[in-house]
Amino acid sequence: ETGVTQTPRHLVMGMTNKKSLKCEQHLGHNAMYWYKQSAKKPLELMFVYNFKEQTENNSVPSRFSPECPNSSHLFLHLHTLQPEDSALYLCASSQDGDRVNEQYFGPGTRLTVT
Partner 1 sequence: GQNIDQPTEMTATEGAIVQINCTYQTSGFNGLFWYQQHAGEAPTFLSYNVLDGLEEKGRFSSFLSRSKGYSYLLLKELQMKDSASYLCAVTDSNYQLIWGAGTKLIIKP
Instruction: Give the interface with partner 1 as residue ranges (CB under 8 A).
Output: 2, 4, 40-43, 45, 48, 56, 90, 97-100, 102-108
Minimum distance between the CB of residue 34 and partner 1, rounded to whole angstroms? 13
- Give whichever of 22 and 79 is closer to partner 1, judged by the CB atom: 22
Cβ proximity to partner 1: between 94 and 113 the closer is 94
- How many whole angstroms separate alpha carbon 50 and alpha carbon 68? 10
Q: Which is nearer to partner 1, 41 or 62 (CB)?
A: 41
Q: If you ran DSSP here, which 8-state letter would residue 61 be given?
A: -
Least distance CB 82 / partner 1 (angstroms): 22
The Cα diameter of the chain in Å comes to: 39
* CB-nearer residue toward partner 1: 56 or 67: 56
Residue 74 to residue 49: CA distance in whole angstroms: 9
Contact, 2 vs 105, CB < 8 A?
Answer: yes
Q: How far is the CB of 106 from partner 1 (least distance, A)?
A: 6
Gap between the Cα atoms of 32 and 102, Å rounded: 12
